[in-house]
Amino acid sequence: MLPVCVERRKHLMRDTNKKILEVRDLKKQFKTRYGILTAVAGVTFQINEGEIYGIVGESGSGKTTVGSMITGMYKSDGGEILYKGQDINKPAVQRSRESKRAIQLVFQDPGGSLNPRQTIRQILSLPLLLHGRAKKGPALEDKIVQTIKKVGLPASYLDKYPQAIGGGEKQLVCIARALAPEPSFIVLDEPTSALDVSIQAKITNKLLELQKEFKLSYLFITHNLCLVRNLVHRTAIMYLGQLCEMASTEDFFTEPLHPYTKMLLSSIPVISEAEEKYKPITVRSIGEIPNPINRPTGCGFNTRCPFARDICKDREPEMIEVKDGHFVSCHLADT
């Protein structure tokens, strides 16, 4: 009979649905004047075809670094990134043309991700030409008009400069640009947090619509838990470069197991009585997020965890599957 932990690990690997992206033990460190900053310390998760996978975390949790490594912005310091089984864990420049086309990215700040000196037409023509979706000339023009119509913007916007349109519309152009090479996987790095509530709702609904229409899979990175509750199929939460808990969104919000998830859920200010009752038993937030340069030993959260015990200080917890599809990385989880 296999020891318990190996049994659980085997289950982790086998999965019925077709996997589009799998990340295994991904690591990333940055050299700074004050020492080595561990941004990502071993992260493992999979994303199935047609699924919206959410990564939630506060600043310094490393969620954006994970997203950047998947799109090839940084070189990672270890671990693998498998896109449809093929390892693409190297900077974008060295990746195959196919994987560069298949994975696209939408940044948080719409204003900063559009070149102010180019018209929307020029902005959209770059991805189309780069990934061979159209040749120069009339075919390109039709493809551009078709791309901008996908996100519901009128063709007259093509002759405008980014400064001339509103924040929400700029983000729609960024989404159109990500759709241009007809990718199958899009990394969305806090796409709506720079926008107002009402425009945020429009963009979120448009993303859902596009996901169904083009059978895309998303990696949705954000710090806004309410947004994740309404948009994402499976949620993971990161703290100080490590995954703490991973589950289907329903389980994640109804039965949080990891103390940090409980603390985060109870700290969110909500706007309706129903939500108040929905929150787990309150775990009061104490202490500050530690400096990633001198990480606490053992579990990253032990400096702020009300249930921390000696074992948490010296040994790093392992990711265990407590219930079907519900993984948690905490020594006290399975008691």
Partner 1 sequence: MEMNEDESHQQRARPRLDRFKRQWHKFSSNPLSLMGLAVVILLILAAILAKVVAPHPDHSGLFLDFSNANQAPSLRYLAGTDEYGRDILSRMLVGLRYSLGIGLLVLALSVPLGVLLGAIAGHYRHTWVDTAIMRSTDLFMAIPPLILALVVCAMFTPGYFFAALGIATAWWPWYTRLTYSLFTSLSNELYIKYAELGGATHWHIILKETLPNAVSPIFTKMSLDMGMIIIIASSMSFVGLGVQPPKPSLGSMVAEGMKYLPEYWWISVFPAMMVVLIVLGFNLLGDGLRDVFAIEEI
Partner 2 sequence: MVTETRLLEVENLHVFYEVYEGVLKVLNGTNLYVRRGEKVGLIGEAGCGKTTMLKGIARILPMPPAQIGDGRICFKGKDILDDEKEGVRMVRKGVSMIFQDPTASLNPTLTVRTLMSDVLKSEDPHMPKAKRNASMIEALERVAMPSAQRVLDSYSIQLSGGMRQRVCIAMALLKDVDLLLADEPTTSLDVTIEEQILDLLNDLVARSQKSMILVSHALGSVRKMTDRVYVMYAGDIAESGPTKDVFERPLHPYTRGLFEATPKLTGAGVSDGIAGEIPSYLEPPEGCRFSPRCPKGMQVCLEKKPPIFALNNRREVACYLYASNVGSIS
Partner 3 sequence: MQNMALFILRRIGYGLLVLLSLSFVVLSFIRLIPGDPVRMSLGPTASEKVVREVRSELYLDRPIPVQYFYWLRGVLRHGDFGKSLFTHRAVSKDIAEFLPRSMELAACSALLILVFGVLLGTLSALFRDTWLDNLLRFFAYLGVVTPPYAIAIFFLLLFAFYWKFFPIGGMPAFPEELRVTGMLTFDALIEGRFPLFFDSLWHLILPAVSLSLGSIAYQARIHRSSMIDNINKDYISFARVVGVRKTTLTLKHLMKPSFIPTLTIFGLQVAALLGNAFLIEVIFRYPGFSRYSLQVIMTKDPYGIVAVTMVFGIVFALVNILLDVGVAWLDPRVRLQAPE
CA distances in angstroms from 102 to 20, 21, 56, 216, 245, listed in the order given: 11, 11, 24, 10, 28
Q: Which two tokens stand for residue 104?
A: 């696209």
Q: Which two tokens stand for residue 11?
A: 């289950």
Is the Cβ of residue 16 or residue 272 nearer to partner 2 in the bound state? 272
192 closest CA partner among 110, 260, 103: 110
Site for partner 2 in 244-263 (CB under 8 A): 249, 253, 263
- One of 29, 113, 193, 248 touching partner 1 (CB under 8 A): 113
Asked if 197 is part of the footprint of partner 2 (rule: CB under 8 A), the reply reads yes
Question: Which residues pair with residue 128 across a beta bridge?
Answer: none
Asked if 106 is part of the footprint of partner 2 (rule: CB under 8 A), the reply reads no
Contact flags string 259-298 toward partner 3, x per CB under 8 A: --------------------------------x-x-----
Which part of the chain contacts partner 3 (CB under 8 A), choosing from 33-41, 100-108, 158-166, 204-212? Answer: 33-41
Is the Cβ of residue 118 or residue 248 nearer to partner 1 in the bound state? 118
Is the Cβ of residue 45 or residue 239 nearer to partner 2 in the bound state? 239
CB of 286 to partner 2, least distance (A): 8
Q: Which two tokens stand for residue 167?
A: 């924040």
Contact partner at residue 98 from partner 2, partner 3, partner 1, none, CB < 5 to 8 Å by partner kind: none
**How many angstroms separate the CA atoms of 160 and 61, rounded?**
38
Binding site residues, partner 1, CB under 8 A: 71-73, 92-93, 97, 100, 105, 107, 109, 112-119, 123, 126-127, 130-131, 145, 154-156, 158-161, 177, 181
